[in-house]
Chains A and B, each alone.
Chain A
Amino acid sequence: MSQVQTQGPTAATRRIDALAAVMRYSTLGALVALLIFNVLFTRHFLAMQTLDVNLTQVAAIVIVGVGMTLVIATGGIDLSVGSLMAISGAIAPIIFLNKVFNIGEIHLAVAVAMIVAVLLAGAFGWFNGWLITRFRIQPIIATLVLFIAGRGIAQVMTNGNLQPFKLDAFQWIGLGRLFAITDVYRGLPIQVAIMIVLVVVAAWVLKRSLFGRQILAIGGNERAARLSGVPVAQVKRWVYCISGLCAGVAGLVVIAINSSSDANQVGLGMELDAIAAVAVGGTLLSGGRATITGTLIGALIIQLVRYTMLANGVPDDVAKLAKAALIVAAVWLQGQGRA
């Protein structure tokens, strides 16, 4: 009798594990299938430049997606990331173009601009977390406030004007290269390096550190986590703060690539891209189970689907429809895996 009792759960867990494995490899499988399709049908896909374009475009999504994964792992959501990107993208040029106060040394000005921009976005993220923990407002509503007001703040700061600039000292974050080999390889784009570092660090934190375990514990069962002594409010505030910091970095990357900052455009729709990357990657949207590498793969899939369509002459509007279907399908599959 006791044997039967122990056997039941084990079999069930094994099946869930198997499903989880299928889920994990199905995302990876989808990525591989996309790559093969492109190699066969998209012209010039194997050119170094294609890889370059896709990686530089996906970096911002992944950087934001890392923060979003942590937020979603606690069972929350952050809709404000796009607006925080706009804020960080608006404040940085204001500082390094010396609009407010004059900093003579340009490298110092750039450093101050970057630090202030990222910290400001992080502070707004902290504010999100404060609203959520102090007033127990649902994350979707609390972050909605900055989703609306954040872009407004960025627009008010710049008066809605485009801020063009040409400043190599700043733009290395979007245009710079590492490990270039003359004539053979142009080098690894800096933002891709940032992306890789962030993914590795966040994956380690989530899997191995106490903070990561606390995040997952909160997402799995907040009450139980609180009762077992996890500082729930503190962990949540940090998570939203990290999401804000990531958005701040992504905002700098985007304006550096564009050589200009447009508060109306920077980060527009980013929350959806990031959430989609997280969902497609296999992180549970209800929290408690998360994978950073999954988010990376998810972002690559979304990027490649769009690239595949555009490269094969499908209009961008249709690509939007496809992305919507992809998100729903991914989340639905995820629900099937759980049931």
Chain B
Amino acid sequence: MKKTSIASVLSSQGVLIALAALILFGWLRYDHFLGLFNITSVLRYNSMFALVSLGMCFVIMTGGIDLSVGATAALGSVVSALLSPYGTMAGTLGGVGAGLCIGLINGFVIVRLRILPFIATLAAMLAANGAALLLAGDQSVSVSYDSGFTDLGQGDFYNIPIPALIAAILYVVGSIVLNFTSSGRTVLAIGGNEDASRMMGLPVNRIKFLVYVVSGGLSGLAGVILASQFGAGQPIEGVGWELFAIASVVVGGTLLTGGLGSVGATLAGVMLLGLIFNVLNFENGMGFISLSAYWQSVIRGVFLLIVVILQSQLTGRAERVEAR
């Protein structure tokens, strides 16, 4: 047991060390890396991924997976753009509501119909994509600029981008829920051993249902921010977001088999992945290398690969020690 926690500490500290090293590297190498503009734009852009990853983190901790987050975010962005003329509140509620609907469907299909999470959410990805295209009429939907809806994504609060503020608050809430509430502990218990949790009388079905609903809602919110930040609801956006989210969660040391995880480390994972692309942009700007945007997905994949292999080595060692 002791060894497992050492492995987990190692993998969660690993991401912080890597993050610190990357920031140091960027600070030493580029002039404007720690400038206000770069920091706020990185935070503003990555807050969407942070929200999606937070939901994914809870889902993965129960031992499940949600492949529909990207398409759900796209659906949320379309719905909020359509409702944006009626005000910021209507747009936000609409986008989040659309996400919650997909989450409810996921939860129902996985818990009640007992369908494997990846199949259920893969189908939901297709459905959300279809619904988004249908609502948007196969093109991007411009938001209303009169209702103040765009302030949500583009505005600042004392120099802090509002999307980053929203993400930060939700991460604090998520961390409290995970660590200090019985629901949060149940999430980890389910991931650790679902049958045992059931036998102990924990509300397994309710919690599993809830994590998918939360993931859907957060994806919808990410979609709202997407729409207000870029001024349009984009039905075909969100491709590959699920992978970004899964990679962030895994980089943060959350076990893909569930039962162990940290909300804070997930945020560090998001920042690490986001900053890697930021550094690549700077490097391109300096003209020493010229990597096309297509390298991003290769690098993302290689990164996920390294982390997953490291994780399997660490947990493998922990298991062997435990077995002894």
**Across the interface, do A135 and B134 meet the contact criterion of CB distance under 8 Å?**
no
Complex Cα distance, B291 from A160, in Å, reads 12
Given A145-B304, A147-B301, 16 other A-B residues pairs in contact with their CB atoms under 8 A: A140-B65, A145-B308, A148-B304, A149-B300, A152-B300, A160-B292, A160-B293, A272-B122, A316-B133, A317-B138, A320-B126, A321-B131, A324-B123, A325-B123, A327-B126, A328-B120
12 A-B pairs within 8 Å (CB atoms) are namely: A135-B316, A144-B243, A145-B304, A147-B243, A148-B301, A149-B298, A149-B305, A156-B292, A316-B133, A321-B134, A327-B122, A328-B119
Cα of A160 to Cα of B293 in the assembled complex, Å? 9
* Residue of B65, B113, B296, B300 touching A328 (CB-CB under 8 A): B113
**Across the two chains, which residue of chain B brings its CB closest to A158?**
B294
Give chain A residues whose Cβ lies under 8 Å from the Cβ of B305.
Answer: 131, 145, 149
Whether B115 and A332, one on each chain, are in contact in the complex, defined by CB atoms closer than 8 angstroms, is yes
Contacts of B200 in A (CB 8 A): none
Interface residues of A (CB under 8 A from B): 77, 131, 135-138, 140-142, 144-153, 155-156, 159-160, 269, 272, 275, 279, 285-286, 315-321, 323-325, 327-328, 331-332, 335
With CB as the reference atom, state the residue of chain A lying closest to B311. A137
Contact (A328, B294) CB under 8 Å given A141-B256, A320-B126: no
Kindly state the separation between the CA atoms of A153 and B297 in the bound complex, as whole angstroms. Answer: 8
Contact with A along B92-133 (1 / 0, CB 8 A): 000000000000000001000111101110111111011101
A144–B130 touching, CB < 8 Å: no
Q: Do A317 and B131 touch across chains, with their CB atoms under 8 A apart?
A: yes
Contact A317 B113 (CB under 8 A): no
Contact B122 A152 (CB under 8 A): no
Check B297 against A144 for contact (C-beta < 8 Å): no
Number of A-B pairs whose CB atoms are under 8 Å? 126
- Checking A135, A148, A323, A332 against B126 with a beta-carbon cut-off of 8 angstroms, the contacting residue is A323
CB-nearest residue of chain A to B309:
A135
Q: How far is the CA of A328 from the CA of B309 in the complex (A)?
A: 32
A144 to B118, CA, bound (A): 12
Nearest opposing residue in chain B for A279, CB measure: B119
Residue ID in chain A nearest B319 by CB atoms: A136
* CB-based contact A152/B297 at 8 Å: yes
Chain A residue at minimum C-beta to C-beta distance from B310:
A135
Contact B123 A328 (CB under 8 A): yes
Most buried by B among A77, A141, A316, A324: A324
B295 interfacial contact with A, CB 8 Å: yes
- Pick the contact of B298 from A144, A156, A275, A321 — CB < 8 Å? A156
Q: Which residue on A lies nearest to B305, using beta carbons? A: A145
The secondary structure that dominates the B interface is helix
Q: Are the CB atoms of A141 and B294 closer together than 8 Å?
A: no
Q: Which residues of B contact A152 (CB under 8 A)?
A: 294-301
Q: Which of A137, A147, A156 contacts B295 (CB 8 A)?
A: A156
Residues of B within 8 A of A325 (CB): 123, 127
A160 CA to B257 CA in the complex, in Å? 35
Given contacts A135-B313, A144-B246, contact A328 B115 (CB under 8 A): yes
| A317 contacts across to B, CB distance below 8 A | 130-131, 133-134, 138
Q: Across the interface, which residues of A come within 8 angstroms of B133, CB to CB?
A: 316-317, 320
Do A145 and B301 touch across chains, with their CB atoms under 8 A apart? yes
Given contacts A328-B123, A335-B115, A318 and B130 within 8 Å (CB-CB) = yes
Residues B126 and A146 in contact, CB atoms below 8 Å apart: no
Enumerate chain B residues within 8 angstroms of A150, measured Cβ to Cβ.
301
Within 8 A of A (CB), among B118-159: 118-120, 122-127, 129-131, 133-134, 138
B256 to chain A minimum Cβ distance, whole angstroms, is 6
B173: chain A residues at CB < 8 Å are: none
A335 to B109 alpha-carbon distance, docked (Å):
12
Q: Does B312 contact A (CB under 8 A)?
A: yes
Closest residue of B by beta carbon distance from A136:
B312
Interface pair A138/B297, CB less than 8 Å apart: no
Contact flag A335-B113 (CB < 8 Å), given A140-B118, A318-B130: yes
B36 interfacial by beta-carbon distance below 8 Å: no
* Bound: A335/B127 CA distance, A: 21
Cβ distance B125 to chain A, nearest Cβ, rounded Å: 8
- CB-CB nearest in chain A for B119: A331
Known contacts A147-B243, A272-B122, A324 near B130 by CB under 8 Å: yes
Query: Do residues A148 and B130 form an inter-chain contact, with CB atoms below 8 A?
Result: no
Residues facing A in B165-187 (CB within 8 A) are none
A269 CA to B122 CA in the complex, in Å? Answer: 10
Q: How far is the CA of A153 from the CA of B294 in the complex (A)?
A: 8
- Measured in the bound complex, the distance between the Cα atoms of B297 and A156 in whole Å is 10
